[in-house]
Amino acid sequence: MEDCLFCKIVKGEIPSNKVYEDEDILAFYDINPATPIHILVIPKKHITTHNDIKEEDSKIIGKIHMVINKIAEEKDFKEKGYRIIINCGEDGGQEVKHLHFHILAGKKLGEKIIG
Ligand code: 5GP
Ligand code: ZN
């Protein structure tokens, strides 16, 4: 995708502070962190929103969760816990139209919408 910010980050056209990278997935620190640790995990393949995940993407989505576990262990917030958020579309407040998983960690999160 030509004009996609996160595709540009994948291609290295826009710099990012990388946390993890493999052939399918990139994780990097959010430029405007909401918590002491705020990491974005994205598929390198352009998938616009959660609605656009296809059957063939199932493996990559599963792998993203394994990568999140790996990052949680390596960055040492596995035991304390964290929150994973996906914003989808207008009502979900999605600003960047390339599927991304927010990992929020490093403080006790109180602003729960559910639970
Ligand atoms: P959304 O609101 O779409 O779920 O989240 C987009 C996230 O991308 C926001 O938390 C925002 O701070 C982050 N972001 C926007 N532009 C950049 C950028 O150029 N670099 C990085 N690392 N994060 C960005
Ligand atoms: Zn993209």
**Token pair for residue 43?**
């598929």
Query: Which domains are assigned to the chain?
Result: 5-105 (3.30.428.10)
Residue 86 Cα to ligand 2 middle (Å): 15
28, burial (CB in 10 Å: exposed 0-12, middle 13-18, buried 19+): buried
Report the atom number in ligand 1 closest to the C-alpha of 34.
10
Reference 17, options 8, 9, 25; nearest CA is 9
* 54-99 per-position pLDDT tens digit: 999 999 999 999 999 999 999 999 999 999 999 999 999 999 999 9
Task: Dump pLDDT digits (tens) for 35-62.
Answer: 999 999 999 999 999 999 999 999 999 9
Query: H-helix or E-strand containing 37?
Result: strand 37-43
Mutating to test ligand 1, I would choose from 18, 19, 30, 101 the residue with most ligand atoms within 8 A of its C-beta, which is 30
If pLDDT is split at 50, 70 and 90, which confidence band does 3 have?
very high
